[in-house]
Structure 1
Amino acid sequence: MPFIPHTPEDVSSMLGAIGAASIEDLFDEIPPALKTGKLKDVPDGLPEMAVTRLMQERALADGFWSNFIGAGVYEHHIPAAIWQITTRGEFYSAYTPYQAEASQGTLQLIYEYQTMMTRLTGLDVSNASLYDGASALAEAVLMAVRAHKSSRRVLVPKTVHPIYRKVVLTTVKNQGIELVELDYDSATGQTILPADPGTFAGLVIPQPNFFGVLEDVHAMTDWAHAQGALAIALVNPTTLAVLEAPGKWGGKGADIAVGEGQPLGAPMSSGGPYFGFMCCRQEFVRQMPGRIVGRTVDLDGKPGFSLTLQAREQHIRRSKATSNICTNQGLVVTAATQYMALLGPQGLAKVASNSHANTVALADKLAAIPGVAKAFSSPYFHEVVLTLNDNILKGTSAKDVLRALQAQNILGGLDVSAWYPELGQAILVCVTETKTAADLDLYAQDKEFYELADAHIALCNTHMGKVKPAKVSAAMLFAASRFNAFVIYASSENKAQFLLEKESAIAYFMQEYEKYLRENVDEHLSRYEDPAG
């Protein structure tokens, strides 16, 4: 809530002017049973300095993680200038630019964004953005059905992100549209095209697919067109700096290109906000949902920008509307435009190539570990599926591996075993340009950590026959606290810093101990044959 500088005298004067005894009288039409009264569990307010201190402690408790999870949301470096510019008042508080005469700056930025996206995708037209990648794919499916006219079937590979497939199904299932799932080759991870697909309106072509594998997009695009269907490209925009643009796939190019725009300057931010992008060939522009910004001239011949082709029921007849999308993700698109402009073609290509090189390097390191293998033989971009050989690793699950890495503050990837049980125990690992050679080594070499832990445990075991276990445990706890207290002291440059960081450091070590204790207790609990103990 904003700070409103009204003194008690101001409030009394305003209440007197309207004939009310108190502010509560303004809400007397609300039945008392619906009022919450005082919020007993909400603490009293704190001074700014105390709040800052509290937030620092909470941030430290979050820990510092080395992230190797991708699966649709990617950790890329975002230059500080991007959000410094994006959060300027002119952009940050701008409303939907209905009035062109008052919104030329916002309109020009969106126009520049559209231009950049058409150059990335190699297609003719871009809209002003959509909500996110999943809803953009759903809109592309609807668009393909509208454009095709005679079929309401769309082919969706199993290699499309499982959450995207769920979103598309939720969007179209009550509209008489059938989604036909295409399987993948277990050796290559690439989509298998059916010999007799029947009539269908569109084929979704993920590049790269959910496994990180590069599909044979030229063959898939030509195959879709040979069947009289539209080719829908589902792409990661970072890849377009180094891979063939969808507009150049096959003989004619893809018809529609969609995807998640988060890699272009948007932080992961616990899941959003992000933005979806959509581009298409000129012949399908009137089937495109959302908004498009166009460039024109005014009565004096001066260039300007305005909204055009707003195919929403707010502007045209409901029966003719292509979508009920009421906005675009303007602020995040602003960041993406700044990101693309600042990095330029060479910078984007460097991000993509470094991400790919890091992924190859880590995949090779991990595949050298006995029992770990790459799931597929095909080329990949910056994600790779690794499988665990049960015959060698003796019951070690993907969750076990990820839990062990998490104990070292490494988010090792995404367990995809539940989504793709046919792969067995499998982990989807992602590496971007943010990772160093030391990060890759730390991920692949965790042996030293467990050797140290085992050495301490072995020392305790030598005393178990001589001293009661409770005393051994207490001594171990005391020794750990003594050593960690020294770590806190040694990391402080002076007494002032020591006092400033003391409580947050203690909170961190207590949280880490609780985490390890719970994990090990749960492990012992799982050994009971009877779940009830």
Structure 2
Amino acid sequence: MPYIPHTEQDIQKILKALGASKVEEVLSQLPASLRLTKALDLPAGLSEQELAAHLRELGSRNTTVQDYSSFLGAGAYNHYIPAIVDSVISRSEFFTSYTPYQPELSQGTLQAIFEYQTLVCQLTGMDVANASLYDGATAVAEAALMARRITGKQGIVLSSALHPEYRETVKTYLVGTGDQLSEVMYCTETGVTLPGAVEAAISDSTACVIVQHPNFFGCLEDVQAVAEVVHRKKALLVIVVNEAISLGLLKPPGETGCDIVVGENQSFGNPLSYGGPYLGFMATKDEFIRQMPGRLIGQTVDRDGKRAFCLTFATREQHIRRERATSNICTNHGLCALAAAVHMVGLGSQGLKKLASLNLSKAEYLKKKLSEAGAQLAFSAPTFNEFTIKVNKDPGQVLNNLLGKKIIGGLGLKRFYPALDRHILVTATEMNSKAEMDALAEAIKGA
């Protein structure tokens, strides 16, 4: 049946109110060049059974990490998702990403988000975290805007070892703002952002410096040294965490002197899903709480003295005066945040540490095997579960050859960094078996 809400009687009432005799008179105001003058070329409708079969056929054309061994990361990581995650997030009470507009009526939803915020604070070592953001890239852009509001300055310094797509997102957000955007080149030997280079890039108008840790090449930055330089120059330090599992081993950013921590939490409880939806996070110091974008859930007591949860801050332009709003972000990724919270709680602090250690050991084993196979490690800095190698042949050819062996070999870096035209970013997680890593090394021999 056609899903058209208006009956013929409804249409006649509308036309009468408009003073028109037929629909064409109303549509005549549209430019002829924009009017569709022929019927849409659409296939015939399908029954539910036929549609299900059609979708299965389309899905079978995809290549997934269940079909191939994957060493691809660069901001989207293949981790095991425990069964408890889907069990909880599939409950009908939670099965929405949206915070209700009468939030205090949804105590379960608010508590889930509150627990997620608490876990993010524990992970990052920061005082306060918001309810979530869209993804890692937009979280970085929101952090840049937040730093501008806090400092009243308009200079943003980005490390060139920050994820290239994150850098592009920041640039897009800042179009038309008059901000001074600059980049600090990474060290070509170590692969990290040198404190001296950061210091040289900061001016009196710099609001913040944005550094990723571990960075895009997988290298571990000296966050504490960078923080000392940034604060000495009266700017804020934003740390970006692309691979949240790394926080199971690395010192929390809050303990290294950073002011704002943002990043991507997809690694906890959220599948690859061909790039989304993902889960951006943001955490900061108490003193900056009123400049945070998005929503913040708080714990209080009701009139009977019982524990209750409430929407403490919602500084979006739909809720408060536009000139006082910190963001126009419309919702939060509540379901993705719940999945991450369930995964984190299921792991516990010791489980997370073991998982992070396993990722590190897998990557170190793969480094060794690839080096023995003839690949060179591109940078000397230590890494977590991701690292960059240099091969002798064109990386595109190498990666295509690997696909023929059912191996997704990593990410060629030439399109992001033209100077790295023989380089591949490789990732190893708990999902990669010894046999898979040995097969990758064998396949890459001579490359």
Is TM > 0.5 for Structure 1 vs Structure 2?
yes
Higher relative CO (CA 8 A, sep ≥ 6), structure 1 or 2?
A: 2
Q: Deviations over 1:327-372 (max 9, x none)?
A: 11111111111111112112222222111111111121111123x2
Q: Please give the residue correspondences for 1:412-451 in structure 2 after superposition, counting only pairs within 5 Å.
A: 412-446=409-443
Unpaired runs of 5+ residues, structure 2, are: 13-21
Partner Cα separation in structure 2 for residue 65 and residue 181 of structure 1: 37
Contact 2:96 2:334 in 1 (8 A): no
Specify which structure has the higher proportion of helix. Answer: 1
The alignment partner of 1:201 has SS state of strand
Query: Which position in structure 1 is the counterpart of 2:192?
Result: 190
2:176 corresponds to 1:170 = no
Given the alignment, which residue of 327, 330, 351 partners 1:326? 330
The alignment partner of 1:257 has SS state of strand
Partner Cα separation in structure 2 for residue 169 and residue 288 of structure 1: 20
Query: Which position in structure 1 is the counterpart of 2:247?
Result: 240
Partner Cα separation in structure 2 for residue 405 and residue 42 of structure 1: 38
Query: Which position in structure 1 is the counterpart of 2:284?
Result: 280
Larger radius of gyration: 1
Cα offset for 1:39? 5.5
Partner Cα separation in structure 1 for residue 182 and residue 294 of structure 2: 26
Partner Cα separation in structure 2 for residue 241 and residue 98 of structure 1: 35
Contact 1:97 1:107 in 2 (8 A): no
Cα offset for 1:57? 4.4
Partner Cα separation in structure 2 for residue 268 and residue 325 of structure 1: 23
Q: Deviations over 1:68-114 (max 9, x none)?
A: 11011111111122123212211114742332442100000000000
Q: After alignment, is 204-213 or 85-94 more displaced?
A: 85-94
Partner Cα separation in structure 2 for residue 233 and residue 386 of structure 1: 25
Given the alignment, which residue of 123, 139, 142 partners 2:142? 139
Cα offset for 1:296? 0.6
Give the structure-2-normalised TM-score. Answer: 0.88
The alignment partner of 1:332 has SS state of helix
Cα offset for 1:202? 1.0
Contact 1:94 1:106 in 2 (8 A): no
Cα offset for 1:404? 0.2
* Residue identity in the other structure for 1:278: M
* Residue identity in the other structure for 2:273: S
The alignment partner of 1:128 has SS state of coil
Structure 1 pair 442/304, CA: closer, same or farther in 2 (3 Å)?
same
Q: Please give the residue correspondences for 1:372-521 in structure 2 after superposition, counting only pairs within 5 Å.
A: 372-389=375-392, 396-446=393-443
Query: Which position in structure 2 is the counterpart of 1:42?
Result: 43
* Residue identity in the other structure for 1:232: V
* Residue identity in the other structure for 1:154: I
* Residue identity in the other structure for 2:43: V
The alignment partner of 1:91 has SS state of coil
The alignment partner of 1:130 has SS state of coil
Query: Which position in structure 2 is the counterpart of 1:91?
Result: 94
2:316 corresponds to 1:312 = yes
Partner Cα separation in structure 1 for residue 11 and residue 210 of structure 2: 63
Structure 1 pair 226/138, CA: closer, same or farther in 2 (3 Å)?
same
Q: Please give the residue correspondences for 1:351-370 in structure 2 after superposition, counting only pairs within 5 Å.
A: 351-370=355-374
Cα offset for 1:62? 2.9
* Residue identity in the other structure for 2:315: A
Identity rate of aligned residues, in percent? Answer: 43
Given the alignment, which residue of 231, 235, 242 partners 1:225? 231
Partner Cα separation in structure 2 for residue 416 and residue 359 of structure 1: 19
Q: Deviations over 1:359-409 (max 9, x none)?
A: 111121111123x200001100111111123xxxxxx20001000001111
Unpaired runs of 5+ residues, structure 1, are: 5-10, 22-27, 390-395, 449-533
Partner Cα separation in structure 1 for residue 193 and residue 419 of structure 2: 15
Partner Cα separation in structure 2 for residue 305 and residue 40 of structure 1: 52
Contact 2:130 2:282 in 1 (8 A): yes
2:216 corresponds to 1:210 = yes
Query: Which position in structure 1 is the counterpart of 2:354?
Result: 350
* Residue identity in the other structure for 1:408: K
Partner Cα separation in structure 2 for residue 58 and residue 315 of structure 1: 42
* Residue identity in the other structure for 1:243: L
Cα offset for 1:438? 0.8
2:158 corresponds to 1:156 = yes
